[in-house]
Amino acid sequence: MRRGPTLIVLLLAACAPLLLDPHDRRLNAHAPELFRVQFATSQGDFVVEVHRSWAPIGADRFYNLAAHGFFDGQRFFRVRQGVFAQFGIPGDPRVAQAWRSATIPDDPPRQSNVRGTIAYAFTTANTRATQVFINLADNRQFDPQGFAPFGVVTSGMEVVDRLYSGYGETAGGGMRAGHQDALFASGNTWLMREFPRLDYIRRARVE
């Protein structure tokens, strides 16, 4: 059952104060060397296992975001069937805009973008922020481009495969296309109106 807009707004409001400041020390803790994040979504649950040794800077950012409810209520706004599923833009525009330029340095790729791995999207060097994608296939062609996997889906990959892909690139697209302004400006309000079939994250937490 899909949560209504009112409940989603309440959930976002509850976590917003801390999440409005990317520099808060509570959002910049050192992650464990190995941890798991369980995602409860509109299609079911899946688990991402993160290996800090693969990409420590990216792992730290992901750990802190998941630990503080950053992903709750977010849409999988860019799903290309059999290629990747992207998320990481908050449904609350205030939070989205606070993090849009909160970039982190690059990690050198140590793992290949095989099916099930997760990595950050970026435009140019050192522009990773919060948008991540799960590889739905072996996308080794991404390796030389600098996409550095920091974790892998260890259970529920069939759930990720079911995420709605019918909108393709139209619900915001990728960072490099430059068509995400409406998503950052209006968040879930815009997505629910224009792209109501998008699947979403109910809750994501470190196990």
8 Å CB contact between 176 and 169: no
Provide the CATH number for the domain formed by 35-206 in this structure. 2.40.100.10
> Who has greater pLDDT, 178 or 115?
115
Token pair of 197 as six digits: 């079939």
- Residue 12, pLDDT above cutoff 50: no
**Domain locations in the chain?**
35-206
Distance CA 122, CA 36 (A): 23
The pLDDT tens digits for 75-134 are 999 999 999 999 999 999 999 999 999 999 999 999 999 999 999 999 999 999 999 999
Phi-psi region of 96 (alpha: psi -120 to 50; beta: other; left: phi over 0): alpha
Residues 6+ apart with CB under 8 A from 175: 121, 122, 123, 127, 131
d(Cα 36, Cα 170) in Å, to the nearest integer? 31
**pLDDT for the residue numbered 27:** 97
Mean pLDDT, to the nearest integer, of 41-70? 98
Average pLDDT of the segment spanning 53-81: 98
Q: At what angle do helices 5-19 and 181-194 cross, to 10 degrees?
A: 160
Q: Dmax of the chain from CA atoms? A: 43
Q: What distance in Å separates the CA atoms of residue 47 and residue 56, rounded to the nearest whole number?
A: 19
| 97: alpha, beta or left? (left if phi > 0; alpha if psi -120 to 50) | alpha
Q: Is the sign of the CA dihedral 27, 28, 30, 33 positive or negative?
A: positive
Compute the residue count for the chain. Answer: 207
Distances in whole angstroms, Cα of residue 131 to Cα of each of 3, 6, 15, 61, 120: 23, 25, 18, 11, 6
Confidence at residue 174, expressed as pLDDT on a 0 to 100 scale: 77
Give pLDDT, residue 11: 47
